[in-house]
Every structure is written in structure tokens, then in C-alpha cells.
Structure 1
Amino acid sequence: MMQDVAIRLACHNCGQLHVKPQLHERQRASCVRCGTVLLQKGKLNVSAWLALSIAALWVFLIANLMPVATLSSAGMSRSATFLQAITVTWGQGFPLVASMCLMVGFVIPLLQLSQLTWILFFLNRKKYPPGLRSLSRLLALCKPWSMIPVFMLGVLVAVVKLANMASLDPETGLWAFAVLTFLLTFLNKLNSRKIWQLAQEQGVANDLPVNPQAGNYVLACEVCSQVALSDHTSGDCKRCHASVHYRKPKYKSRTLALLAAAIVFYVPANLFPVMFIDTFLGASGHTILGGVLQLWQLGSWDLALIVFVASIVVPISKIVIMLVLYFNDKSGSYAVQRQHTRLYQIVEFIGQWSMLDVFVVILLAALANFGSLMSVMPGHGASAFGLVVVFTMLSAHSFDIREGWSYVDDGIEKEDFEPVETAPTFQ
């Protein structure tokens, strides 16, 4: 029997309601219906997270203030920071490409690290962080768009391409970005739900109990995981004040519109050159596929494979998977819906990696700039491809995978949950 008042937890992928378990270290609780990890308690405490966040913030500043690499040719040399690469791209007449790279490679990661450091500083002192509600909502928006690891991979691809053109020396910024990539990989585990979990562990926030008689609709907050039952299909979270919906309103029309925009821009993204290389021997345009073939001819088959997957396989896969989910969201089959949930999780995970080629282009434009001897400029294909990345990510965020589970009758009781022992993880 369900208790009159209890702490509830809803799966953000299928909507299944659970009684919230108390976890010990190295335990996790998974959804009994779709298998999504609901809660996980790792080894790191707030102090350790704060140390990682402060270290990442300092390394971020070093990475953006110091040059990434120096390119030398015919007695001339060029070095560039990430911000200088953005400035060069803007000056060459491609403000859209420059703006996208500035946001996902500098502004949003800086916001993410600053917010984490602020929140963890107060949590470490067992105090309620000022502005926690607003900051946690902003953190939930920022996290998918922070693309430092993608930029680091783009630096490696650019280095291989430039090494064949002239003498290239890695600089401090490159090593700082490498360290920052590892730090952010760990810190990305700190999503907004994990932040509120840490706040509860520090005793500065609590789950609000849920009265199962309050209504028929489960309103689960995607920011802080607070659950409410209501007779209405939407409202505001009582804990963090985020907008909460039983199902995302008009999600199908938004998803289809964004997918259509991604498909439209995908055609010029592959037909038009993403960059032009101008040397004393002549000018040549390079498409995405042409860049893959160039890496292969240079002997870097591993990077060629990575670029092929990130720039060709991933965008096509995202579009195809989202179309499958869109037209089969009411299958009514438990097995099929579970597969759909896994596919949706894959789309969310791989979404940002298609930005790789855009980062490569701006780095090449900044470093390989020797006037009449050699210069690199972005092409309109880079602008179109950046928009493909943005629209496919927005379509995935707009889609509501929970709707399909509304048509699945699997007989699972709402109060069930399954705590599972796991191997130690860095969390």
C-alpha cells in the first residue's frame, strides 16, 4: 500500500513514479520500467567537487588566454587563442559561425563553471547558496551546450591538417584545454538534479512530501527532481520554481519543425565547402567529406574515422532516430518503447559532437593566415552545418519520450524501486 504522504521520485524518461530510496555510498537506484538511473551516490563529497570546479575554472582561464598553437612557414609565424580564432572568423564575414563557437566554446562553459563554483562554495559551508533556484534552472539549460571536449577534439584534427602545411608547435593553451576536457568530463556529472541532491545531503534543502490524493497528473521537475501530483497538466515547481508539465506542450509540432529545419540545412552543409584554402598554387574549397578524405590521405585514418562519424554518421543518425521516434511514439509495446528510450538517450549523448568540423574551421582560419602565401577562410557550408547541429539538438530537447510510455500497460506498481550495487565510480 502507498503511504498517505511520502517522498516520491519520477523517472524523467518514462514518467514512472517511485518511492524515493535512501542510498549508501556506491549505490544507485534505477527505474523499474525503463532502466534509467534515477539516483546515484558516488565517492566524491562536496569539498572534492568544489576543488575540481575551482581547478577547472582556473584552467579554463589559462586555456583561453594562452595561444593554442604556433604555425611557422617561410620565416613567418602565427599563433592564436580560441578567442582570437573567433575574432578572425567574424572579421572574415562569418558572424554566425563565430557567434555559435563563442557561445558553446566560451560563454556557456564559463557560465557553467562559475555557477558550479558559486553553488558548491556555499554547500561546502553547509549554507543555502544564494540564487540556487535560478542558478540551477540556468545550469540545466547550459549543460547540453557546453562543448569544450568537442573543441579539444577539433584542435587535434586541426593540428594534424596544419602539420602537413607548415611547422606547428603546440602551446600552453593546447595542454590547458586537454586538462580542462578531463575536468569537465567529471564535472558534467553535476547536473541540476545532482546539485539539489548534494544540497539535501548537506542539510540545506529537502524534498517536499507528496500527497497521492492531490491529483491524477504527475508533475516531475526536470531541474530539481521534485514531484507533485496535481489535477492540472502544468504548473510551477514548489521547490525551484521551474515550469513543470505532465507532458511537454505541443512537443510534436515543435520537434517536427526543428527536424525539418535541420534537414533543409543539411543539404547545403554537405554540398557547399566548409572552408577555402588559398595558397600561391591556387584556391580550393573543401567539403566535409573532402576533409575526411584529406585526413585519410595524410595517413591519419583514426582521425579521419572520428571526423567521418562525428560529421556525417552522427547528424544522419540523429535525424533518422528522431524521425523514427516521432512517427512511432505510440507503439504500445513495452519492448519497443524501451528501445525507443535507449535511442533517445543516445541522441542526447551524441548531439554536440557534430560541432567538431565547425571548431576545426575557425582554428585553421586563425592559424593558417599568411597573406598571399597561404590563408584559410570558412565557407557557407560551415554556417549551414552549425545550424544543423543546433536544430537537431533543439529537436531532441523538445521531444517528450514519456508520451510513448503513456500507451504501455506493463502492470508495474508506482511504489516500486530497485537499488542496485555498482562498482566505484568517480562521482
Structure 2
Amino acid sequence: MSAPPLLACRHCDRIHQRLPIEAGAMATCTRCGYVLYRQSGLTLHQWTALAVAAVVVFAIANYFPIALLSVQGVSVHATLPHAIWITWQQGHGSVALMTALFAFAFPLGQMLFLFWALRAIVTADLPADFKYGMRMLDALAPWSMLSVLLLAILVAMVKLFDLAAVSFGPGLWAFAIAAFLLTALGRVSAQRLWRYAEDAGLVEPSGQGLLPGEPHVSCHACGFVQKAPQEDHTPCRRCGARVYRRLPDSYSRTWAFVLAAAILYVPANVLPVMVIYTPKGASSHTILSGVIEFWRMGSWDLALIVFVASVVVPLTKLLALAVLMLRHRWRGPIVERQRTRLYELIEFVGQWSMLDVFVVVLLSAMANFPGFSQITAGGGAVAFGAVVILTIFAAMSYDPRLGWDADPEEVGAVPSRAPNDIPDHPSILPDAADNKY
């Protein structure tokens, strides 16, 4: 009987055996508590059907109008592609490009690559370029922001209730369904697909040929555990991606992104994110003035959502990343676990700050009533979008394994076995939330 495949924790690098678990359960790292893998109650055929449904619903969402607006007999049928095109015509190409990528191209690409990969595994016929498709899927997933777009649609529609007669379009309901489906499909990451392929005997199992006590390295793209190469920039034996024991120049690159984001955070909050033109004149609105306007309208819940997503989240991310990068002495696994949880929070909330950028683009299409009202993006929207992108890059550049490397047991200050002499069995926990998917 062959040994179970190996996998390395992405946050502390502890080696574990990947053992079969029951549907609805999850396996966590015995060292840092990170969720290593989950066992879904859905079959590969069911995941494939969900991917097809997501693509179809997403196409419907972009074809039919999100909202129907009417002012003095003039009607507007707003769609996402139309909103992006109007923003481009208004001379705000960077804002339009960000929205086109994060709200349209990347979510669509994620769905298509998921369907393509699932279909290949189900039919047991992996194409030669499967490894490239999985690397592309891994790159697209953090930038797919369909759930953020859905919230932005609701915020934009509430903002226009006093300006025009607003009714929901079929595109809104389609976007809601597509966001739900893509959130569920987000559980099927590129590394999870590689594990499906391992179980089907289609690719080389992770850890194959790794001897006890040998230094190891884990591929960030496919999760393949292999013998540590003599030199950096060595390609992964399974997928061809470059493998590193640790991300190169992690601290310096993360500091560079954090400082750049901190500098741009000032104009992002000082400059207007949008300009409203009416027969009475033009008025500029910053992020904070928009929050205040929602509060005065009585929409305190939306004011709180925008304030948290656009002010609290980016500021918290910058401060949290700065705290994580402050080098410190080893203070035990409990403290390091807390730092790991903080990093997981940064990864989770990273994309929600793009809310204001999406709202501005949608309003440019929804409030496009020539001679009565028009909304265009301001310089603050460009700066704020850049802040979001930079903070996501900063989180990607930070390597949480560096903190665990300071553990004296691992560096040899305390004599012990090598961590991969006897691979750990991960902690198996019930996961009620995973039963849905």
C-alpha cells in the first residue's frame, strides 16, 4: 500500500500526511491551526455543474440591466459593461480598467478555468497545458471581486433613490446568484484541483521520492512537496512553477508595497472619488463625505458598511502588515498563532476595499441623464484603487512562515527530530459550513 501524499502548511511549513476525511470535515495544521484541506460533500460532477451554472448566470447578469432608472420621462437601463464603457469615455481609463478586470474579466476567467480543469479531471484526460491553466487559476482567484461588486450595486441603487425612480433589473438577481455560486466555487482552489488529480492517479503524488530527514520545499502553485533544490529559481517537478524555500525578499517587498499604499492613502481620502453635475452646478464627494451623506439620508447601515470597507479595512490592513513585519524574538507558539490569524484576516478582507471604486463606476451609468445629472469619477477613485491593489500585493509578498522559522525547536536550539522524519497527521475537525458545498 502506497504512503499517503504529503502536504506542507502554507503558513508554517509543517509537513503532514494527507489522509482521507469524512465529508464536511476539515484538516488543520497541528502546529499553527491553518486549515490544510476540506472534504466537500459534492462530487466532481456536481462541482462541474455548478461551474457551468455560474458561467451561464454571469452571462445573463452582464446582458440584462442591473437597474431601471427614470427621471422626467428619460429612462436608463444600466448594465455593467455599459457602466465600464461610460467611465472610459469620460476619460477615467484607469478606473474603468480596474472595474473591467476585477468585476468582469477575472471572475469570468476563474469560472472558465474551473470548468475546464474539473472537466479534465472528471474525464481523466489532463491536457498537456493543465499545469499552466492551474497556475493561471491560482493567480486569478485573489483578484476576482464579484461579491464586492454585488454590494456596490446595492449601495449605488440606494444612493440614487432620491434622484430617480429606481427599480431592480434582472441583472441584479443574476449577479446575486453568480456571486453566491462563485463564492462556493472559491472553495475549489488550484491546489485542491491538484489533490483531486492526485486521488484520480492523473499526476504524481505530492512528496513522492522525499526521504525522511531530507530538506523539503513546497510549490506555492500546486502544493507539491519535493526535495529542496540546490539553487533558487528551480522549477517545480510537477507544474513547472519556480519554487522557493521562502518568498525572496519578503520583508523588503512587503515594506515597499505598504509604504507606497500609505502614501497614496492620503490623496485617496482627500481628493474627491466622484463629481456630481446637476443644473445647480458641480459638487465633489470624498469617501468620508459619502459616508456622512448616507448617514443623513437615514441609511446608517450603508454608511457603516462603506465606512468599514473604505476607511477601516485599508487602514487596518496597513497597520496590521506593519505589525507583522516587525521582527521579534520567538515568544512561543501561542503568540505566533495569533500573528497567523491576523494574517489570515488580512487575506480575507483584502478585496472589500474596492467597494467605492465599483460604486463610482456604477453611478456613472445609472445617473447618466444628460441635462439633468451626470456622475464622473474623481482623482480619489484612482488613488484608492491603487491603495487596494498595493495592499493586496503587500499581503501576497509577506511570508508567514518566516515567523515560525524562529522557533528554536525547528532551528536546532532544542534537539528534536526533523519535522519531516515522521509526517504529522493533521487535526480533523467537523466543518458544518462545508456541508453546503
Q: TM-score by structure 1 length?
A: 0.95
| Alpha-carbon separation, structure 1, partners of 2:32 and 2:269 | 37
Counterparts in 2 of 1:330 and 1:239: CA distance versus 1, 3 Å: farther
* Paired positions, count: 423
Q: Kindly state the Cα deviation for residue 303 of structure 1 after the two structures are TM-superposed.
A: 1.2
| Alpha-carbon separation, structure 1, partners of 2:200 and 2:424 | 27
Match of 2:19 in 1: 21
Q: Kindly state the Cα deviation for residue 112 of structure 1 after the two structures are TM-superposed.
A: 0.7
Alignment equivalent of 1:418, drawn from 399, 423, 426: 426
**Residues 194-246 of structure 1: per-residue CA shift (max 9 Å, x gap):** 11122223332341414236843x21112221101225363221111111110
Match of 1:34 in 2: 32
Q: Secondary structure at the match of 2:46?
A: helix
| Alpha-carbon separation, structure 2, partners of 1:54 and 1:201 | 23
Match of 2:291 in 1: 292
User: Are 1:128 and 2:126 an aligned pair?
Assistant: yes
User: Are 1:143 and 2:117 an aligned pair?
Assistant: no
Match of 2:376 in 1: 377
Alignment equivalent of 2:230, drawn from 207, 229, 232: 232
Checking the alignment, whether the CA contact within 8 Å between 2:367 and 2:375 is kept in structure 1 is yes
Q: Kindly state the Cα deviation for residue 291 of structure 1 after the two structures are TM-superposed.
A: 0.8
Q: Secondary structure at the match of 1:241?
A: coil
Choose 228-237 or 261-270, whichever is displaced more. Answer: 228-237
Aligned-partner residue type, residue 22 of structure 2: H
Q: Secondary structure at the match of 1:261?
A: helix
Counterparts in 2 of 1:56 and 1:282: CA distance versus 1, 3 Å: same
Q: Secondary structure at the match of 1:276?
A: strand
Match of 1:336 in 2: 335
Q: Kindly state the Cα deviation for residue 189 of structure 1 after the two structures are TM-superposed.
A: 0.5
| Alpha-carbon separation, structure 2, partners of 1:105 and 1:200 | 32
Match of 1:83 in 2: 81
Match of 1:252 in 2: 251
Aligned-partner residue type, residue 256 of structure 1: W
Alignment equivalent of 1:169, drawn from 167, 170, 192: 167
CA RMSD, Structure 1 to Structure 2 (Å): 1.8
Stretches of structure 1 that go unaligned for 5 or more consecutive residues are none
Match of 2:267 in 1: 268
Q: Kindly state the Cα deviation for residue 359 of structure 1 after the two structures are TM-superposed.
A: 0.4
Choose 4-13 or 319-328, whichever is displaced more. Answer: 4-13
| Alpha-carbon separation, structure 2, partners of 1:281 and 1:45 | 59
Checking the alignment, whether the CA contact within 8 Å between 1:123 and 1:129 is kept in structure 2 is no
Checking the alignment, whether the CA contact within 8 Å between 2:26 and 2:37 is kept in structure 1 is yes
| Alpha-carbon separation, structure 2, partners of 1:368 and 1:329 | 52
Match of 1:207 in 2: 205
Q: Secondary structure at the match of 2:408?
A: coil
Match of 1:57 in 2: 55
Aligned-partner residue type, residue 279 of structure 2: F
Checking the alignment, whether the CA contact within 8 Å between 1:330 and 1:404 is kept in structure 2 is no
Match of 1:362 in 2: 361
| Alpha-carbon separation, structure 1, partners of 2:339 and 2:236 | 28
| Alpha-carbon separation, structure 1, partners of 2:31 and 2:291 | 41
Stretches of structure 2 that go unaligned for 5 or more consecutive residues are 410-415
| Alpha-carbon separation, structure 2, partners of 1:41 and 1:130 | 27
Checking the alignment, whether the CA contact within 8 Å between 1:332 and 1:405 is kept in structure 2 is no
**Residues 174-201 of structure 1: per-residue CA shift (max 9 Å, x gap):** 1110110110110011111111122223
Checking the alignment, whether the CA contact within 8 Å between 1:277 and 1:377 is kept in structure 2 is yes
Aligned-partner residue type, residue 335 of structure 1: I
Aligned-partner residue type, residue 392 of structure 1: T
| Alpha-carbon separation, structure 1, partners of 2:174 and 2:121 | 28
Which stretches of structure 1, 4 residues or longer, exceed 6 Å deviation after superposition?
Answer: none
| Alpha-carbon separation, structure 2, partners of 1:121 and 1:191 | 15
Choose 408-417 or 57-66, whichever is displaced more. Answer: 408-417
Checking the alignment, whether the CA contact within 8 Å between 1:219 and 1:244 is kept in structure 2 is yes
Q: Kindly state the Cα deviation for residue 247 of structure 1 after the two structures are TM-superposed.
A: 0.4
| Alpha-carbon separation, structure 2, partners of 1:397 and 1:15 | 16
Q: Kindly state the Cα deviation for residue 97 of structure 1 after the two structures are TM-superposed.
A: 0.5
> Matched residues, percent identical?
41
Counterparts in 2 of 1:231 and 1:50: CA distance versus 1, 3 Å: closer
Match of 2:412 in 1: none
Choose 7-16 or 373-382, whichever is displaced more. Answer: 7-16
Checking the alignment, whether the CA contact within 8 Å between 1:210 and 1:227 is kept in structure 2 is no
Q: Kindly state the Cα deviation for residue 401 of structure 1 after the two structures are TM-superposed.
A: 0.8
| Alpha-carbon separation, structure 2, partners of 1:198 and 1:73 | 54
Match of 2:193 in 1: 195
Choose 33-42 or 415-424, whichever is displaced more. Answer: 415-424
Choose 353-362 or 117-126, whichever is displaced more. Answer: 117-126
| Alpha-carbon separation, structure 1, partners of 2:399 and 2:77 | 45
| Alpha-carbon separation, structure 1, partners of 2:363 and 2:32 | 44
Q: Kindly state the Cα deviation for residue 252 of structure 1 after the two structures are TM-superposed.
A: 1.3
| Alpha-carbon separation, structure 2, partners of 1:320 and 1:162 | 34
| Alpha-carbon separation, structure 2, partners of 1:132 and 1:24 | 28
